[in-house]
Structures are given as structure tokens and as C-alpha cells.
Amino acid sequence: MIRHAQQSAKIFGPEREHPVESLVRGGKANYKSLLKTQSKSYKEAVEQYQLRYHAEPPPGFEAWYEFAVHHKSPIIDDFDAIYHAVSPFWKLSGKRVTETMSQIHFAENSEMWFCSFNGESASSDCAHAYRVFDRHLKVLLDTLFQGLDGALPDVKFLVNHFDEPRVLIPTWGAEEARNHPQFNITSMSHQPIWDEVTKFCASSKDKSKKAKTQSSSKAFDLPFVIDQSSAMDLCEHPEYRNMHGLFMSPVSFSLVEGFVPALSTGSPSTMGDILLPSPAYIEGEFIYDDSKEVGWDKKRNNLYWAGSTTGGFATDANWINYQRQRFVKLAQNIERREFYYLREIGGVIQRVASTFLNGRLFDVAFTRIFQCDRKYCRDQRRFFKVGGWADKDKALKSRLVFDLDGNGISGRYYKLLASKSAPMKQTLLREWHDDRLIPWVHYIPVSQSLEELPELVFYLTSTEAGQNRAREIAEQGRDWFFKALREKDMAVYMYRLLLELARLQDPGREAGSPAIH
């Protein structure tokens, strides 16, 4: 096997290109297009809004544009995450939206913070039915809106308390949405939720088939991520049912079914949570510290990850299929399973199976086993090679750094993007920044199956071309982080979101239209 590994380092030269290289070219083309097509004037921004969303921008849009330009936002037009989350609620009148928010705030098991944003002072007050600690929500909002006194209208909005997403929006028409009861709340913690969160997939069957055709091909029969959006689409991937703790046994899951405009930090493709930046991204524990950084040439040439068994609550032996457990099991080569690599056989590059995994290329361990019944906590401690406490900045000592979902989004992601290491990202949760982070340019996407990971890590660490590519992605991700994921960029996003929410709940807006009368 070692001989084959050495041989493979030579086969991907100018005449034999690794599939990663074509994916990188595609990513660069997408990134170039993203930058090139942004509006250069307010008039263009209005025209782009009209073209994209078939509606007029919300009141206050010009002031928002000036704010974005003043703070050098590289993104002016690509806020599809906001539109796709807010537009379903246009089926309800502004008055009905406000009534729904008030009702669910006091409903049993709602677990929603009801926030009131004061436009004059640019400050927020958030209240919960019984909780006191808001998980730094007010700190986030006040930080992002600092200096915007008088710029925004008064707005009210709901924020989900949990890490896990909450809202499932029915596929009703406008009349049915107006006449149906506002919402139902169902507690589903520690239960499978897949059937519930995918039950409206049939309504988008034709769309799914089209997307699947465009993104399901495999390079040399390994599932390198070609289209990140498609890879995250639950309707296209029924196999995800038993591959992610959120769908198998969530720690906290109180499903809200109905037209409820609630903000969450992350959401799978089938759910309707409105996305906001995670407060974790501005908390000290997760902020990048340049003084802890290590130059690329001094970093260990391996993949690093250390963390806990968040992601699901183990009440049976199915914990072995949760996303974090599957990753650590592979990286520690516990079951001596077969892995897949690309090799030359008879002059043709193809996928071959091998039980070999170079353990020196993986520094991966759980440092805490919890969120499990006693027996299954004990079973996991026996199964995995559990590591001791790990310094929060130890990842910066490796060239490749892995990141994946826990109970919700991963708070450490921005630290990794800001670093001089190359982030490898596996996720099924959409975030506010998805419109601006380009796979294979700013980070390396990894499939849910992890089937391509051994070959991918080998290529990026053990071939000259792959090492150069990893370094380039690390540099590009870092550069883009400090241009497009700053606190000011989050403020630009939230400013625009609040304008949309203000229009949505305006008492003068009638059902079925974004226009205010």
C-alpha cells in the first residue's frame, strides 16, 4: 500500500489532473462572477433587487445601500438567504404577522425570545417567558447596530433559544395560509425527526430532480462536493436520515409548524427559519487570535479536530451513525474498514479500496463524551480513543482544520476561516453567510458520507500540487474573512434583514404582497 501511495503522488501532474483541480477552477469562476456582478450604484442595486425578487426594495433601502458602501461591503446584491426566508410570510398581512409573533411568544414550549428593536436608540430588548440568560443575543444585536441610532424603524422579531432549528413552513397557498390556524408546536427531543422535516419534499419533486441531475456525478466514483447547495438539500438525499444526529435524536427539538417568522443561527434546507449570525462568532472563546497563529511552513502537515459528542442525544446504539462519531471513527481507523483512493491501474485512474489509512495525517479525537444515556456514554468511551483537554487554539498548529455540525452550527468556523490553515467543512445547516462563502475557494467542502476524505487529505498533504492548493485556499479564505465576514458585514446583513422584517409586519401591508399601502 505504501508503494501505491508513493506512486499516486506522481500520477496527478500536468497530464493527469486530480479532480480537486477542476473543482477549484469552477469555484474560482463562481467567485469571480460573484465579485464582478455586484451593483456599483444605488440605481443598479434597486434594479438588481427588482430583477431578482420581482418586488420593490423595502423602505430605507437607500440608507442601507449607503451604509454598505461606506463600510466597504463587497456584497451588495447577494442576499438570497434573506429573501427566501422572508418571502413566504408575504402570504400573511402585516397585522397577522405581528399577532402570530405575540401568540407564540406566550405559547407553551415555544422557547422563543421576543425582541423589540428601538430604531431611535438602535438598541434591542429581548424577553423570554421564563429564561433569563439570552445566550448573548442582546450583546450581538447591540454590537452590530452600534452607531445606527435613528437609521432603522422600530421592529419586533422572534429569536429561537435553541441551537437546533425550529420552523417548518407548510406549502400552502395564500388563501389557505390566511385561513389556517397560525402554528402547532410539537416537542420531539430525543426522537427521529426526519419524516417531519422532509414531509413537504414531494411538493418540490420536479425541482429536486433537476438539481440532482446537475450535481450527482462523482469524480472517479468518489463523492467530491460539486454543488454545495445541492449537497445540503435534504429532499435530494434520503440517505441523510441515518447520518446526522439532528435527524436521528436531537438534544432539543420543539418543532413549530406554521407561518412563524423566527430567527435561528442555522437551518437545514427544508426548514423556514430566518437566518441571523450566531452570537458565538463575536464571543471571546471563538474569536481568532493572531498572536496564537503559526506560519504555514511551521504547521503540522495533517488534519486536526478535537471536540465533544454534541450533535445528537444517544439513547441507543445508533450514536455510531451521528455525524461527529462517524468522522472520528474514520479518522481513528477504529474498525479497520475499507477506504477509497484514486490510483492508476493499467494507465487508467480509478477508485481502489484499501484498509490503509495513514494515521499520521489525522490528529482527531473526542475530548468529552456526553449527551447520552449512561450506558451509551460508557460505550462511546470504550469505543473511541478519547483525548484529554485540548487548547482552543491548537487547531492553528495544523495545515488542515476540520469543522462540522454539533447540536447546531459550529461556533469555531470563523476562527478557522480567519486563520492561516485551510478549513475543511462538513455541514447540513445553512447560515447567513452562505451566499458569500465559495467552496473550493474559501474552504474545502466535505460530503456527508466522508467517502472522499482519505483521498482528499492524502492529496492535500502528500502531493506537491495538493499542498500548494491547500495553502492557496487557506490564504484565500483568510483574506475573504477580513473583507466579507467582519462584524460590519454582519451589521450590513442584519440592517437589511430588519428592513425586510419592518416591511413584513407593517400594519398597512395586505396579505399576498410585499407592498405597503
Q: State the DSSP H helix or E strand holding residue 403, giving kind and residue range, or none if neither.
A: strand 398-404
Mean pLDDT of 273-300: 97
pLDDT at 178 over 80: no
Mean pLDDT of 142-163: 98
Cβ atoms of residues 339 and 276 within 8 Å: no
- The residue whose grid cell reads 409573533 is 101
What is the domain extent for residue 407?
2-29+283-485
Residue 517 belongs to some domain of the structure: no
Q: What is the pLDDT of residues 369-413, one digit of tens each?
A: 999 999 999 999 999 999 999 999 999 999 999 999 999 999 999
CA distance to 121, 165, 191, 267, 452, per residue, from 246 (Å): 39, 9, 9, 11, 23
Q: What are phi and psi of 372, to 5 degrees?
A: -160, 150
Residue 207 belongs to some domain of the structure: no
pLDDT at 202: 84
- The residue whose grid cell reads 425582541 is 115
pLDDT at 12: 57
> Within 10 Å of residue 148's Cβ, how many Cβ atoms?
18
Q: Provide the pairing of β-strand 339-345 with 348-354.
A: antiparallel
pLDDT at 205: 52
Residue 318 belongs to some domain of the structure: yes
Mean pLDDT, the chain, rounded, equals 94
Q: What is the pLDDT of residues 84-128, one digit of tens each?
A: 999 999 999 999 999 999 999 999 999 999 999 999 999 999 999
Rounded to the nearest 10°, the torsion over CA 429, 362, 320, 311 is -30
Burial 241-274 (b: 16+ CB within 10 A, else e): bebbbbbbbbbbbbbbbbbbbbbbbbbbbbbbbb
pLDDT at 216 over 60: no
pLDDT at 177: 73
Full-model pTM: 0.95
Mean pLDDT of 414-420: 99
> Within 10 Å of residue 191's Cβ, how many Cβ atoms?
14
**Residues near 16 by beta carbon (within 8 Å), at least 6 away in sequence:** 344, 349
Cβ atoms of residues 237 and 396 within 8 Å: no
Residue 411 belongs to some domain of the structure: yes
* Cα 356 to Cα 341: distance, rounded to the nearest angstrom: 10
The closest of 396, 400, 330, 324 to 367, measured between CA atoms, is 324
Percent of the chain with pLDDT over 90: 87
DSSP per residue over 335-348, as a string? S---EEEEEEETTE
Mean pLDDT of 253-282: 98
CATH number of the domain that 444 lies in?
Answer: 3.40.50
Ranges of beta strands (E only) in 56-166 are: 112-118, 123-127, 155-160
Q: Provide the pairing of β-strand 183-187 with 254-258.
A: antiparallel
pLDDT at 13: 53
Cβ atoms of residues 261 and 501 within 8 Å: yes
pLDDT at 218: 67
Q: What are the residue ranges of helices labelled H in 126-172?
A: 137-144
Q: What are the residue ranges of helices labelled H in 352-452?
A: 374-383, 413-418
Mean pLDDT of 198-222: 63
Residue 209 belongs to some domain of the structure: no
* Cα 405 to Cα 176: distance, rounded to the nearest angstrom: 35
Residue 104, all three cell numbers: 407564540
pLDDT at 7 over 60: no
Q: Write a three-state SS string for 163-204.
A: CCCCEECCCCCHHHHHHCCCEEEEECCCCCCHHHHCCCHHHH
Residue 134 belongs to some domain of the structure: no
> How wide is the angle at C-alpha 226 spanned by C-alphas 221 and 227, nearest 5°?
140
pLDDT at 1 over 60: no
Q: What is the pLDDT of residues 441-462, one digit of tens each?
A: 999 999 999 999 999 999 999 9
Q: What is the pLDDT of residues 39-81, one digit of tens each?
A: 999 999 999 999 999 999 999 999 999 999 999 999 999 999 9
> Within 10 Å of residue 65's Cβ, how many Cβ atoms?
23
pLDDT at 14: 56
* Cα 325 to Cα 327: distance, rounded to the nearest angstrom: 5
Report helix, strand or coil for 239: helix
Mean pLDDT of 347-361: 93
Residue 360 belongs to some domain of the structure: yes
- The radius of gyration of the chain from alpha carbons, rounded to an integer in Å, stands at 23
pLDDT at 207: 47
Residue 158, all three cell numbers: 422572534
Count how many domains the chain has. Answer: 1
Residue 282, all three cell numbers: 463575536
* Cα 329 to Cα 320: distance, rounded to the nearest angstrom: 8
pLDDT at 347 over 90: no
